[in-house]
Structure 1
Amino acid sequence: MFEALLIVVMQFVIVPLTTLRTIFVVKGEIRTASILGGLEALIYVISLGIIFSDLSNYLNMIAYAVGYAGGVVVGGFVERKLAIGYRTYNVSLLEKDSELAEILRAEGFGVTLFEGEGRDGNKRYRFDIVVKRNRENELMEILDKKAPKAFIVAYEPTNFKGGYLVKSMKKATKMRQ
């Protein structure tokens, strides 16, 4: 019974490590990803060693599966809490809203305003907003309040260079503290 419990605990650790390792690889943080990968491999070998030492012990196999499933939940929770990286939001508006742009900029969000043309030739306005993932809820609260009818699409950039973003975010973070 102790071995089964140990296997569950190891899976609750290894699967979130796998989640984080994958995120760090995608973000280009190879050194951090390799450290996590090493820990992951060590836990993997130990847990499978316990299972393979007695293939007639079905409780250990079930513990592995239950722990793995639980680890996925834990990994998702950890990933959302850490909120590593940035998102870019495209906010489409029917009317130009310079006040909203200034509010967002004052809060430290990187905002670029574009003017375009809709299907029937009507003017449309789009904000491109870059935000740290741990500030997405703040952004959405402002947009829900100031532009409730906006069409919003979010995506995750893999890298970017230059711009006002980093400087303004550091300034806004200091002001909130």
Structure 2
Amino acid sequence: MNTLVWALVIFFSRILDVSLGTIRVKLIVRHQKFIAALIGFIEVLIFILVVSKVIRDVGNLLNVIAYAAGFATGTIVGITISERLGRPIYTVNIISREKWQEIEQALRDAGFGVTRLPGFGREGTVAMLSVVVKGENIPKLKTIVESHDPKAFLFTHSVEDIKGGFVYGVKSKI
């Protein structure tokens, strides 16, 4: 095969290899060990074949660039596939000292389910609002919160397993 064809084979093989790796990690987190193991086998098989070709001809700059570019592109492709396969759901926690009532009401008015918890921070009593939401709706939630309290403290947690309750942006299939 000519040099350009080998570079393309390396590039696309690396995209496949890295994409599979990203999906495999997601499956491990979901405790799907057998599918993850099968994907890992295929991933490593592709990796060994491709890296051995690049190392055998390490002086071929085109192959090295194809390898690196395939890795970078595979990362993007893998994350994109992973996002589409899963339903990224998050818990967003909002801590506000003074404006929590306004934030809570505005979020409820916008259709979000809100759970309020009392808390004690460095500067005294606070309220922590907890909202479970699809990832794509986080910008809307942040806009609402920031419009009422620009100093509010927000942090998110990825939710891997869920049962019952209300999740904004998800039909009640859960």
TM-score, normalized by length of structure 2?
0.71
Q: Deviations over 1:48-101 (max 9, x none)?
A: 56x17x824643345323322332344345556777432222211112533432
For these two proteins, the number of residue pairs brought into alignment is 168
Match of 1:113 among 107, 113, 116: 116
| Change in 2 beyond 3 A, CA 1:41/1:110 | farther
Kindly report the root-mean-square deviation, in angstroms, between the aligned alpha carbons of the 2 structures: 3.4
Contact between 1:110 and 1:168, CA under 8 Å: does it hold in 2?
A: no
Q: Does 1:6 align with 2:40?
A: no
Q: Percent identity?
A: 31
Q: Does 1:16 align with 2:27?
A: no
Q: Deviations over 1:88-115 (max 9, x none)?
A: 2221111253343243235443321112
CA offset at residue 131 of structure 1? 1.5
Q: Which residue of 2 aligns with 1:153?
A: 155
Alignment of 1:1-177 (within 5 A): 1=3, 2-30=5-33, 33=36, 36-37=39-40, 39-41=42-44, 43-44=46-47, 46-48=49-51, 51=53, 55-56=56-57, 58-59=59-60, 60-76=63-79, 79=82, 84-95=87-98, 97-120=100-123, 122-162=124-164, 164-166=165-167, 169-170=170-171
Contact between 1:108 and 1:169, CA under 8 Å: does it hold in 2?
A: no
Three-state SS of the structure 1 residue aligned to 2:133 is strand
Contact between 2:132 and 2:168, CA under 8 Å: does it hold in 1?
A: no
Q: Which residue of 2 aligns with 1:175?
A: none
| Change in 2 beyond 3 A, CA 1:143/1:126 | same
The AA in structure 1 aligned to 2:119 is G
Three-state SS of the structure 2 residue aligned to 1:125 is strand
In 1, the alpha carbon distance for the partners of 2:85 and 2:111 equals: 20
Contact between 1:27 and 1:85, CA under 8 Å: does it hold in 2?
A: no
In 2, the alpha carbon distance for the partners of 1:29 and 1:142 equals: 37
Contact between 1:112 and 1:127, CA under 8 Å: does it hold in 2?
A: yes
Contact between 1:84 and 1:134, CA under 8 Å: does it hold in 2?
A: no
Higher mean alpha-carbon deviation, 66-75 vs 86-95, is at: 66-75
Could you tell me which runs of 5 or more consecutive residues in structure 2 were left unpaired when the two chains were aligned: none
Contact between 1:83 and 1:134, CA under 8 Å: does it hold in 2?
A: no
In 1, the alpha carbon distance for the partners of 2:35 and 2:135 equals: 19
TM-score, normalized by length of structure 1?
0.70
In 1, the alpha carbon distance for the partners of 2:44 and 2:114 equals: 42
Could you tell me which runs of 5 or more consecutive residues in structure 1 were left unpaired when the two chains were aligned: 172-177
Three-state SS of the structure 2 residue aligned to 1:169 is coil
CA offset at residue 17 of structure 1? 2.3
| Change in 2 beyond 3 A, CA 1:33/1:118 | same
